[in-house]
Amino acid sequence: MKTYQADQVKTIALLGNSGSGKTTFAEAMLLNGGVIERRGTVEGKNSVSDYRPIEQENENSIFSTVLYTEFKNNKINFFDTPGLDDFAGGVVSSLHAADNGLLLVNVQNGVEVGTEIHFRHAAKADKPVIIVINGLDHEKTNFDKSIEMLRERFGGNVVLTQFPVNEGTGFDSVIDIIKMKMLRYPNDGGAAQITDIPDEHADKAAELQAELIEKAAENDESLMEIFFENDTLTEDEMRQGISAGLIQRGVFPVFCTSAKKNMGIDRVMEFIVNVAPTATEMPPWITTDGKEVKVDPKGPSSLFVFKSAIEEHVGEVNYFKVISGKITENLDVNNESSSTKERLSQFYVCAGKNRVKVSELHTGDIGAAVKLKNTKTGHTLNGQGISGKYEPIKFPEPKYRSAIKALSESDDEKLGEALSRMHQEDPTILIEYSKELKQIIISGQGEYHLNILKWHLDKIYKIETEFIAPKIPYRETITKISQADYRHKKQSGGSGQFGEVHMIIEPYEEGTEPKTMMKINGRDMKMSNRNIDNIKLSWGGTLEYVNCIVGGSIDTRFLPAILKGIMEKMEEGPLTGSYARDIRVYVYDGKMHPVDSNEISFKLAGRNAFSMAFKNAGAKILEPVYDVEIMVPSDRMGDVISDLQGRRGMVLGMNSEKGFEIVKAKVPLAEMNKYSTALSSISGGRAMFSMKFSEYVQVPSDVQDTVIKAYEAAQEEE
């Protein structure tokens, strides 16, 4: 395969709602570039993109697929991304590596849920967007309505570079505003016949060209001067202005295609080659310590791994982008993320599962490597003369959680390994082995997302599993002061066990000091606070352990054992078995025996004294509360707020953004189970939300009673 220099490489992420035709569009690009000789179809289950069994079974893209094609002495790398929001990880990682987004719009439906979502992902990644109105050969096309919706949702930077002559079942021609020519396609698609614009379309074309020229000039000061002087721009000047506008997201050019008939695809590819920015024209990459790394063909070798996949008969495949310099066979690199060394002995360019071995790749290009030992998604590999790792991909926070268990205990180890591999392939699948909840918690982007995970476990890994309701990681604490004494005494011949501990517990608040006077059994007592251990608990909150022993009633060597007993009880609170937190413990007196006292005696005495005191200290349950941000169409906001209130949510504020309302609220995690499914139902699939842990707060009394009863019932069953 030919070696392409940095200025000959363009990288595109295909975006759009499920059903907009991305996979079909990809097939046409591969055909036009000579990578394949015959186009596959989604229905025929033989497309290059959707080659995985789960995708063929569902007739939907589940993973992003790395592809390339060659066109007019240039190489176009492109990614076919999933249209469903449950698989947003593939969209986000693709946009991270791409220099441009190509947003497909199904002309029958106009701007759909996925169109808006993918456009927002591109905006967040600050990437240029080229818009393609696809499916113009369908009998129910509505081009003008689609343009109206695009401008309504995405603003005035949406500008026509083409319009159809005969949309509908007879579609075969478009007017190209940049070329100011008509492009007529043969029945079997492919290359267009270029002719003059018919008289009946000349006025519309001239009007649209004037709009396009003005929009192109806005993005370049030198072009603006030329425009003011000549009242127009040449075709090359127009391209220059559009290119500048793309980089600044100041223009979103619109093209017309029928991917199914391969009409208009060649023109889009030509535009990508001539106008779309290369990696060297895009902003520099940023390292984790804030340094800029220039995308420099002459710089030191540096690359970023944006995707990892597990391929049958191959193993792990790492897909990377060359950020700087070039890479060659047998190049030794430092993995800055895992602090190891790797050798790029062989690497490939990929079209789906088909790989072509190459000997070198230059700045901006996309490649794949196999048999790397310690390299994963998000890792930076650097050659000599460069250090530092690039900022990681910011994947969306999980929106749906469930517990999972293997039906056979003998599969527990296999399940752990399978889940780890699936997280490696899709970082938006999060796995937590919760010692606290005694459950494996899996989190993802939605119910369908986790159902696909289960399909892989069932069909690929042959592990029978079931989803079960995830427990809530409650916390327990106290609300008032309490005192307790406990004597542990055991005699069974020979040395016995003896330890007595007197303690007081009270709520701990950050920034407060231990008291020096306490009322115990109705009388005031001065506390001699000799040593204070402020322990930050791994599960959140604090335990403050205050040694108030005077006169040697308990030997100093037994104090760590008392603390150990307290910690054991804090790991299993008396109300729900959840972790306890935010408690201050004063150990102020006790007794010991010169022969029978030992560490185990004082550990048990401390544990039981703490348990007794806890039960009389106004024990309360705390629940995790999440910050939830919902982007919802204005006409559905009332329903969404009503639903939040039914979930004990507290709405904190609202603001507007291009026809959407942004609702910010705090909602208990216990009320967020299956919220993604409910929100989709309420909003017709148009709302999006994100959630992030905020804090622990006390649950209402009625909720606490319900939780405690449920815990007690579960304990009885066990």
User: For residue range 452-463, what is the model confidence (pLDDT) as tens digits?
Assistant: 999 999 999 999
CATH of domain 8-281: 3.40.50.300
* CATH fold of 476-618: Ribosomal Protein S5; domain 2 (3.30.230)
* CATH 3.40.50.300 placement within the chain: 8-281
What's domain 622-709's architecture? 2-Layer Sandwich (3.30)
Distances (CA, A) of 201 to 175, 179, 208, 471: 8, 14, 11, 65
Comparing CA positions, the residue from 317, 259, 309 lying closest to residue 64 is 309
pLDDT of residue 523: 84
Decide if pLDDT at 717 tops 80: no
pLDDT of residue 432: 93
pLDDT of residue 405: 95
Q: Give the model confidence (pLDDT) of 664-709 as tens digits.
A: 999 999 999 889 889 989 988 878 888 899 999 999 999 999 999 9
End-to-end CA distance of the chain: 64
* CATH 3.30.230.10 placement within the chain: 476-618
The angle that helices 559-570 and 599-615 make with each other, rounded to 10 degrees, is 40
Please state whether beta strands 285-286 and 292-293 pair in parallel, antiparallel, or not at all (unpaired): antiparallel
Decide if pLDDT at 1 tops 90: no
pLDDT of residue 493: 67
Q: Give the model confidence (pLDDT) of 23-41 as tens digits.
A: 999 999 999 999 999 999 9
Could you tell me the two tokens for 274?
A: 């001539």
CATH of domain 400-471: 3.30.70.870
CATH class of residue range 285-382:
mainly beta
Decide: pTM greater than 0.75.
yes
Q: Give the model confidence (pLDDT) of 43-92 as tens digits.
A: 899 999 999 989 999 888 999 999 999 999 999 999 999 999 999 999 99
Computed over every residue of the chain, the mean pLDDT equals 93
pLDDT of residue 688: 83
Q: Give the model confidence (pLDDT) of 400-441 as tens digits.
A: 999 999 999 999 999 999 999 999 999 999 999 988 888 999
pLDDT of residue 118: 95
pLDDT of residue 635: 85
pLDDT classification of 315: cutoffs 50, 70, 90: confident
Name beta bridge partners: 650. Answer: 666
DSSP 83: S
* CATH 3.30.70.870 placement within the chain: 400-471
Mean pLDDT of 112-129: 93
Report d(CA 696, CA 541) in Å as an integer: 10
The secondary structure element, H or E, covering residue 227 is: helix 221-230
pLDDT of residue 658: 67
Could you tell me the two tokens for 225?
A: 């001067």
pLDDT of residue 718: 64
Decide if pLDDT at 657 tops 80: no
Q: Give the model confidence (pLDDT) of 612-641 as tens digits.
A: 999 999 999 999 999 999 988 888 899 999
Angle (nearest 5°) at CA 463 between 460 and 469: 115
**Cβ-count burial of 572 within 10 angstroms (0-12 exposed, 13-18 middle, 19+ buried)?**
middle
Residue 588, phi then psi, degrees to nearest 5:
-115, -10
* CATH 2.40.30.10 placement within the chain: 285-382
Mean pLDDT of 238-267: 95
pLDDT cut 90: percent of the chain above it: 80
* CATH 3.30.70.240 placement within the chain: 622-709
Decide if pLDDT at 313 tops 90: no
Decide if pLDDT at 136 tops 80: yes
DSSP 3-state of 129: strand
Q: Give the model confidence (pLDDT) of 493-510 as tens digits.
A: 667 899 999 999 999 999
Q: Give the model confidence (pLDDT) of 359-398 as tens digits.
A: 999 999 999 999 899 999 999 999 999 999 999 999 998 9
Decide if pLDDT at 206 tops 70: yes
